[in-house]
């Protein structure tokens, strides 16, 4: 399926429908759980395809933090293991029902900001995001999508963050949501 594309501050931003673990970009973003332990959905797919090195690095990060889990909105980085992507940025999205709508929106936006900050710090130039928190964490995609696109747009216009950014959707419905929002905010 052809992707929807826009240009923000010399970065090609696109919506693509498919499996994020197949993308050959500098970094893919993992919608991780607070303990970085792998799991279902995107998180499980990334750990399965990337191999055990990702989990080993995640466990080392948790140990370095004094065995404390990540808070919603935080992000950390590991290598990509056997993935086509060189790195995985793990971010913990908010569990929608555990926050007020405003708090959930703030935490979700922090996931995108902090992931892009890690990308810049590492000198990486391409990234792919899944729909953070829109699976098991229950964030309605129609609410999460405008937050994701707006936050990314603000970051790209403020920082020369990257050359290519992909919103990777799994479903046709989400593909349509992100395509419309990208066009709307362009």
- DSSP assignment of 117-185 equals HHHHHTT--EEEE--TTSSTT---HHHHHHHHHHHHHHHHHHS---SEEEEEESSHHHHHHHHHHHHHH
Active site includes 163?
no
Greater model confidence, 40 or 140: 140
Calculate what percentage of the chain has a pLDDT beyond 90. 95
pTM over 0.85: yes
Closest to 46 (Cα-Cα) out of 150, 135, 153, 176 = 135
Domain ranges, ordered by start, for the chain:
4-185
CATH topology of domain 4-185: 3.40.220
**Tens digits of residue pLDDT in 39-49:** 889 999 999 99
Q: Which of 19, 26, 43, 174 is catalytic?
A: 43
């Amino acid at each position: 399926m052809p992707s929807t594309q826009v240009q923000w501050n010399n970065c090609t931003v696109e919506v693509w429908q498919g499996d994020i673990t197949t993308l050959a970009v500098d970094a893919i973003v993992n919608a991780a759980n607070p303990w970085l332990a792998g799991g279902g959905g995107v998180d499980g797919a990334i750990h399965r395809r990337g191999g055990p090195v990702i989990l080993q690095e995640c466990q080392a990060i948790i140990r370095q933090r004094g065995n404390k889990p990540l808070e919603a909105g935080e992000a950390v980085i590991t290598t990509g293991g056997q993935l086509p992507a060189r790195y995985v940025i793990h971010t913990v999205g908010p569990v929608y029902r555990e926050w007020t709508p405003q708090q959930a929106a703030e935490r979700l936006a922090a996931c995108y900001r902090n992931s892009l900050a890690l990308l810049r710090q590492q000198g990486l130039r391409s990234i792919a995001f899944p729909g953070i928190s829109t699976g098991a964490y229950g964030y309605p995609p129609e609410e999460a999508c405008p937050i994701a696109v707006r936050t990314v747009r603000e970051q790209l216009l403020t920082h020369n963050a990257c050359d290519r950014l992909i919103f990777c959707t799994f479903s046709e419905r989400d593909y349509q949501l992100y395509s419309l929002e990208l066009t709307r905010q362009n």
